[in-house]
Chains A and B, each alone.
Chain A
Amino acid sequence: EADIYQTPRYLVIGTGKKITLECSQTMGHDKMYWYQQDPGMELHLIHYSYGVNSTEKGDLSSESTVSRIRTEHFPLTLESARPSHTSQYLCASRADRAYGYTFGSGTRLTVV
């Protein structure tokens, strides 16, 4: 069973809508990450957090924003969705003394 949960799994929305992708983990991990994955397979880091009230932008510029008010919750928000935001979004977390990430199942977003 998953210890990191992403909702929704699939989302189709119209251009200009505001959306929030949810990510929650029950492992007490301080470090959490958001990746964007295009059909070309590569994983692109768009946001990360090392703890409550800590958020940083990743390597790939993104119009999304994140917040970290609680350790277990790391939501990603798009204020005005566009077709270029169509992608798979993966959330991950990591324990302090381990290098490996635990990934959620992802949210596949389609903006029409």
Chain B
Amino acid sequence: GQQLNQSPQSMFIQEGEDVSMNCTSSSIFNTWLWYKQDPGEGPVLLIALYKAGELTSNGRLTAQFGITRKDSFLNISASIPSDVGIYFCAGPPIWETSGSRLTFGEGTQLTVNP
């Protein structure tokens, strides 16, 4: 199936630092989703993007839908310890006509040191 290449695979940062991660694909996506998975839990939807160029914020999180429709990035500003977790990008590839099956990136493991 279509792959989403997510980077970096892991990040170790100090509390208060800003974080940036991105997701790229060789195919076009019509929707980009960003999820966070806390340790021992299932992923939770953070931000959904539906239009190329769209920039959306959710508190300290900001995500953008790339102009080419083949990439997206997620920024976290002023990180705090509870930001720890795995962040996934996801989307229904354009060939998934029903839009019912999501493709997930490999995940970015974020560690925040107090």
Contact = CB atoms under 8 A, between A and B. Distances in A.
Interface of A: 6, 31, 33, 41-43, 45, 48, 50, 59, 90-92, 94, 99-106, 108
Given A43-B88, A45-B101, A59-B1, A103 B106 contact: no
Contacts of B102: 99, 101
A101 B92 CA distance: 11
A106 B43 CA distance: 9
B106 A42 contact: yes
Contact of B45 (A50, A90, A101): A101
Nearest to A2: B42
B67 interface: no
Interface string B31-57: 101000000111111001000000000
B104 A94 contact: no
Contacts of B100: 31, 48, 50, 94
A48 B31 CA distance: 20
B66 interface: no
A74 to B, nearest CB: 14
Contact of B48 (A59, A94, A100, A102): A100
Contacts of B16: none
Given A31-B100, A94-B100, A41 B86 contact: yes
